[in-house]
Structure 1
Amino acid sequence: MTELDELPLRPELRGRTPYGAPQLPATHRLNTNENPHPLPAELLADLGESLGHAALELNRYPDRDAVALRADLAAYLSRTGGVPVEPAQVWAANGSNEVLQQVLQAFGGAGRTALGFTPSYSMHPIIAAGTGTAWVDGHRAADFTIDTDAAVAHVQQMRPDVVFVTSPNNPTGTAVDLDTVAALYEATEGVLVVDEAYAEFARTGTPSSLTLLPGRPRLVVSRTMSKAFGMAGLRLGYLAADPAVVDAIQLVRLPYHLSSLTQAAARTALAHTDALLATVDAVKAQRDRIVAALPGMGLTSVPSDANFILFGHFADAPAAWRALLDRGVLVRDVGLPGWLRVTAGTAEETDAFLTALGEVAPAHRTTLGD
């Protein structure tokens, strides 16, 4: 068989590995930040009807601009985001990753640079590489927050064309203060993307960057239906921005990129928003339960506004990860020394995780002074 190195691959892609969370057999899979609750029966019934109706015209191309879906998304954001959003401000694609790819296709590319504050979502530099955009790491403080003054100075020095801010951040769960977002916007002449994939899980009083959109034409806020809506298998992401940004995205998007079935399913889900988001409070309760239990095991966590918790400290995080997997619980080793990440699941999954962690922690946690 031909080896990858034998192909005329772009030089900047050589030596890289694809994104991927381990898909290993485990009784409790708490490593990919999915919503653990099944879709409500009434939604499933309506999905069957809407998809059946859409299937009648599968011989025709879908609505190229997804006008009706974008109107529904705008209505949802207007109701929940703290600021009115018009359909012309919204764009949708196959998962928020495709949304971010389209942003970089439009505003990044060869000879241009993107900057993100790491550790953060590992797909950002991967998408940058795929679009030929150079990547620069902007670092976080020891507590995983962003030091506003240092971040502003770095952005002013590097002058990136695209700046990524993930809030709540993945893998740490930390939300970014809106004053920091506003300061970063003023510091750059490029596009500022706030990745809010986990925004619906934020603790009370944590505002969305959607409220900063008025008067900021280079600000982009991306969202997804994979997390809070519990529809990871649908692959529907979207952004809100100035209408001019949406016009720019349409210069690079593939024609008919969202299938008729995807648009129909997403609109049906949005019609059941209240029922779907009812699970968010249940997930947050399990998140907070895990956080409260950790000190009793000699462990700690990073304050989380997401549906997951970064927890530690471990003398050997990979060994602790393996010990949990041996007990049927799959969490995520995100590559941060001393830390692991767990998704907040159902009450039963939390029971299993805390039981396993209680057995693992004494042998693997660091001791005072280490």
Structure 2
Amino acid sequence: MNAAFPPLREELQGIEPYGAPQLDLPVQLNVNENPYGPSPEAAADIARSVGEAAASLNRYPDREFSELRAGLAAYLEGDGGTGITPEMVWAANGSNEVMLQLLQAFGGPGRVALSFAPTYSMYPEYARDTLTEWVAGHRADDFSLDLDAARDLVLEKQPTVVLLPSPNNPTGTALPPEAVTMLCEAAASYEPAGIVVVDEAYVEFRRTGTPSALELLPVHRNLVVTRTMSKAFALAGARLGYLAADPAICDAIRVVRLPYHLSAVTQATALAALRHAPELLGKVEELRVERDATVAWLREQGFEVADSDANFALFGRFADRHAVWQGMVDRGVLIRETGPDGWLRVSIGTAAEMAAFRQALLETVQDTPQQTTQQTPQDTSEQKDLA
């Protein structure tokens, strides 16, 4: 056999698959997980629910996951949503699959997906995998959006999918409501109209006074708000992401979803977690306080830190960030080498974990000869940043 094997698509050849470092270190602060797991009571309810589902695993699950959609709609109603019905909710195996389904339904050959860098590095991968043209605008030095420039780019490129994480990953920057409104209006002004996806994977960690885009759903029919149970709900291992949108958008996604894509076990786990929502979300405020303290401490040490409404902090700037990352690893602390060149990201952990982070960082900087840099934020989409 002389031809290259296997016959991988040309544009995929030579690309490394996603892979965040998974190192067995005492302190793991690299993938934005909630450091507090489910309580024994919540874990027991999940186990009981999964056990009940196991008795009928010879049958396919509810293809429309109706009970789960109702539960998610009720939760969103209590967190900024208004008039959200089960028909307005869709779920999949993590918000990554939700995003991919959106690109499968509304992207494709001859269509454009657009976002603003630096941002979540999986977005261009979704576009690539669905043969959608990828366009990336740029954020300001403080990682905010120039709203007029953003609107002009949308009007110029006329994307069918606009991806707006809020809080943004990896910077933690939240979007003001006027940004969502402006871009929804712009995307609705051409044919075919575009949908605007506000990715709220970290929104439960937002600071007081920061609104959710859910409040704008009754105003903009082309708005989609995505969420996940991986972060604030402490269910990263369950893989459940979801969205709220106009029912017509949810119906369109049903065309591209795989049959029975949400297992009975996943549905049972998510429903049990929703029954324990106040308890599972009980550590969110504690993590907010720890985040704000971490940002303040980093700035006191002379680091540049992006304002964060998430459960992580992006800080820098380093002439050799990999050397700093490696120094932290050598001291038993795993953080993330991601985002614009010269920056590092730390997830917010327990008080003890953050104390270990601070100590390791001080020792690493002291022992790693380097100078800070003043680089302009730029897109580094090759950094695969799933979490």
TM-score, length of structure 2 as denominator length? 0.92
Paired AA for residue 71 in structure 2: D
What is the one-letter code of the residue matched to 2:331? Answer: R
1:112 paired residue number = 111
CA contact (8 A) 2:42 2:273 kept: yes
Please tell me the residue identity of whatever aligns with 1:366.
Q
Greater RCO between the two (CA within 8 Å, min separation 6)? 2
Task: Measure, in 2, the Cα distance between the counterparts of 1:101 and 1:329.
Answer: 32
Q: Which residue pairs with 1:64 in the alignment?
A: 63
Question: What SS does the corresponding residue of 1:216 show, helix, strand or coil?
Answer: coil
- 355, 358, 371: which one aligns with 1:366: 371
Q: Distance in 1 between matches of 2:133 and 2:322?
A: 30
Instruction: Output the CA distance in 1 between the equivalents of 2:354 and 2:253.
Output: 41
Cα distance in 2 for residues equivalent to 1:180 and 1:364: 41
2:343 to 319, 335, 339: 339
Map 1:261-280 → 2, pairs under 5 A: 261-280=265-284
* Pairing partner for 1:200 from 204, 218, 222: 204
Tell me the distance in 1 between the aligned counterparts of 2:71 and 2:330.
Answer: 45
- Between the aligned partners of 1:31 and 1:368, the Cα distance in structure 2 is 23
Which residues of 2 match residues 141-290 of structure 1 at below 5 A?
141-188=140-187, 189-290=193-294
Q: Distance in 1 between matches of 2:182 and 2:341?
A: 30
In the alignment, residue 74 of structure 2 is paired with which amino acid? Answer: A
Cα drift, residue 175 of structure 1: 0.4
- 2:127 is the alignment partner of 1:140: no
Gaps of 5+ in 1: none
Separation in 2, partners of 1:335, 1:33: 14
Match in the other structure for 1:83: 82
Q: Which moved more, 1:211-220 or 1:169-178?
A: 211-220
Task: Provide the secondary structure at the position in 2 that maps to 1:275.
Answer: helix
Does the aligned pair in 1 maintain the 2:170–2:339 contact within 8 Å? no
Q: How many residues are paired up?
A: 369
Of the structure 1 ranges 358-367 and 34-43, higher mean CA displacement relative to structure 2 is found in 358-367
For residue 8 of structure 1, report the CA deviation from its aligned partner: 2.0
Distance 2:252 2:63 in 1: 15
- Once the two structures are TM-superposed, the CA of residue 9 in structure 1 deviates from its matched residue by 1.8
- Is residue 53 of structure 2 the alignment partner of residue 54 of structure 1? yes
- Structure 1 residues 289, 3: closer, same or farther in 2, change over 3 A? farther
Alpha-carbon contact 1:198-1:227 (below 8 Å) kept: yes
Q: Which residue of 2 aligns with 1:306?
A: 310
Q: Secondary structure at the match of 1:80?
A: coil
Aligned-partner residue type, residue 234 of structure 1: A
- Note if contact 1:92-1:236 (Cα within 8 Å) is conserved in structure 2: yes
- The answer (yes or no) to whether the contact 1:298–1:365 under 8 Å persists in 2 is no
User: RMSD value over aligned CA atoms?
Assistant: 1.8
The equivalent residue for 1:37 is 36
The verdict on how the C-alpha distance between 1:56 and 1:23 changes in structure 2, with shifts beyond 3 A counting, is: same
Inter-CA distance 9–215: structure 2 relative to 1 (3 Å threshold): same
* SS of match in other structure, 1:250: helix
User: For residues 4 and 40 of structure 1, do their structure 2 counterparts lie closer, same or farther at Cα, with a shift above 3 Å needed?
Assistant: farther
> How far, CA to CA, are the matches of 2:118 and 2:232 in structure 1?
23
Alpha-carbon distance change, 144 to 52 in structure 1, aligned in 2, over 3 angstroms: same
Q: CA deviation at 1:15?
A: 3.1
2:14 is aligned with 1:10: no
Code of the aligned partner of 2:211:
P
1:315 CA drift (Å) = 2.1
Which residue pairs with 1:73 in the alignment?
Answer: 72
Q: What SS does the corresponding residue of 1:233 show, helix, strand or coil?
A: coil
Could you tell me which runs of 5 or more consecutive residues in structure 2 were left unpaired when the two chains were aligned: 188-192, 376-387
Paired position in structure 2 for 1:96 = 95
After superposition, residues 16-35 of structure 1 pair within 5 angstroms as 16-35=15-34
SS of structure 1 residue aligned to 2:296: helix
Give me the whole-angstrom Cα distance separating, in 2, the residues matched to 1:138 and 1:369: 21
Q: 1:330 to 1:59 in 2, by over 3 A?
A: same
Contact 1:315 1:364 in 2 (8 A): no
